[in-house]
C-alpha cells in the first residue's frame, strides 16, 4: 500500500539557515510526489511536484525537492529560511491508476529571528 512518512512533526530553524523537511514514501509503482504548504488560517497550496523527468524540482518561494528513487525520498529544501516560511508543510503521493492523493502528517516549520 502507498504511504507517506514525514520525519519530524516540528522543525525549528533560524532565519537565514537551511530548511530541510524530510519525506519518505512507500509505493510499489512509480509515484507522483507533491509538497503542499498551509499558512495559518488558509487552505493548502502547491509548492512543487514531481511527475516525470528531472528529479530535482524547483517550486515557489525558493523551495526545491529531489526525487531519489533508491532512497524512496522526496525531501524539501530551501537554502535560506525567511520568517514568512513559517507554516505547515505536507508531503503527498499519488500514482497512476489510483484516484487518491495520500498526504503525510505534516511538518510545522518554525523560523526564529
Site for other proteins in 36-55 (CB under 8 A): 36, 41-46, 49, 51-52
**Closer of 2 and 77 to other proteins (Cβ):** 2
How far apart CA 17 and CA 76 sit, in angstroms, is: 14
35 lines the binding site for other proteins (CB under 8 A): no
**Closer of 14 and 51 to other proteins (Cβ):** 51
The residue within the footprint of other proteins, chosen from 13, 57, 76, 106 (CB under 8 A), is 106
2 lines the binding site for other proteins (CB under 8 A): no
32 lines the binding site for other proteins (CB under 8 A): yes
Instruction: Say if residue 69 is exposed, middle or buried (CB neighbours under 10 Å; 0-12, 13-18, 19+).
Output: exposed
> Among 104, 109, 95, 106, which Cα is nearest to 17's?
109
**Closer of 53 and 83 to other proteins (Cβ):** 53
CB of 79 to other proteins, least distance (A): 25
How far apart CA 105 and CA 10 sit, in angstroms, is: 11
> Among 69, 109, 66, 67, which Cα is nearest to 90's?
109
Amino acid at each position: 500500500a502507498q504511504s507517506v512518512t514525514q520525519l519530524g512533526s516540528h522543525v525549528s530553524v533560524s532565519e537565514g539557515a537551511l530548511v530541510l523537511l524530510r519525506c519518505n514514501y512507500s509505493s510499489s509503482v512509480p509515484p507522483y510526489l507533491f509538497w503542499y504548504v498551509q499558512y495559518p488560517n488558509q487552505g493548502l497550496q502547491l509548492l512543487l511536484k514531481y511527475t516525470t523527468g528531472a528529479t530535482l524540482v524547483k517550486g515557489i518561494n525558493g523551495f526545491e525537492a529531489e526525487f531519489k528513487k533508491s532512497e524512496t525520498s522526496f525531501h524539501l529544501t530551501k537554502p535560506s529560511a525567511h520568517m514568512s516560511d513559517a507554516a505547515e508543510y505536507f508531503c503527498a503521493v499519488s500514482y497512476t491508476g489510483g484516484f487518491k492523493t495520500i498526504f503525510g502528517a505534516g511538518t510545522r516549520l518554525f523560523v526564529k529571528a
